């Protein structure tokens, strides 16, 4: 049995509802334990959750300080209790190291806490809703350990306002 089957890219030649119906069939048959969707808008999230009988487990959309257009999807997932999995949360592997120089408030908050801007970024996302589970890719063990420490970072309400305003 597959633990989580994440439907990543809809085939434009297949009706979206039919594709989600196939996920429902896999759930009903016990082939998969959980079903998720990716790159979905709010209407698709609602439709998928309806077709799956309230069993939509996750939505995986791009979300980062650079790419915030998935904020409505994140908020909807929080309202529905569906895991929101931001991909490229640090802006992509080529830009993750530049996060602090590209978004000064993340570097400023990091300096006050004595941590990396990347940790601040992940902590900021985690603070948005308890359903957020960022997917920070990494090729080095030290950056994996750094990212994992974000769960222990407590940002103040003022810091969250500062980071939310950073563009």
Q: What pLDDT, in 10s, does the model give residues 97-114?
A: 889 999 999 999 999 999
For residue 97, what pLDDT is reported? Answer: 85
Q: What is the mean pLDDT of residues 115-130?
A: 97
- Residue partners of 91: CB distance under 8 A and separation at least 6: 64, 65, 66, 67, 98, 99, 102
Q: Tell me the β-bridge partners of 34.
A: 4
- Cα–Cα distance, 129 to 84 (Å, whole number): 9
For residue 10, what pLDDT is reported? Answer: 86
Please state the pTM of the whole predicted model.
Answer: 0.94
């Amino acid at each position: 049995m597959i633990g989580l089957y994440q439907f990543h890219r809809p085939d434009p030649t297949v009706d979206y509802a039919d594709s989600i119906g196939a996920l429902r069939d896999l759930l009903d048959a016990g082939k998969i334990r959980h079903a998720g969707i990716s790159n979905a808008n709010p209407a698709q999230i609602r439709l998928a959750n309806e077709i799956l009988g309230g069993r939509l487990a996750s939505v995986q959309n791009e979300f980062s300080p650079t790419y915030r257009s998935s904020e409505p999807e994140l908020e909807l997932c929080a309202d529905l209790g569906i895991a929101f999995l931001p991909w490229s949360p640090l802006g992509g592997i080529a830009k993750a190291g530049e996060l602090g120089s590209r978004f000064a408030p993340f570097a400023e908050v990091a300096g006050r806490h004595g941590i990396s801007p990347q940790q601040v970024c992940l902590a900021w996302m985690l603070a948005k809703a308890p359903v957020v589970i960022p997917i920070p890719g990494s090729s080095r063990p030290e950056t994996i350990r750094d990212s994992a420490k974000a769960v222990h970072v407590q940002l103040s309400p003022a810091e969250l306002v500062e980071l939310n305003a950073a563009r």
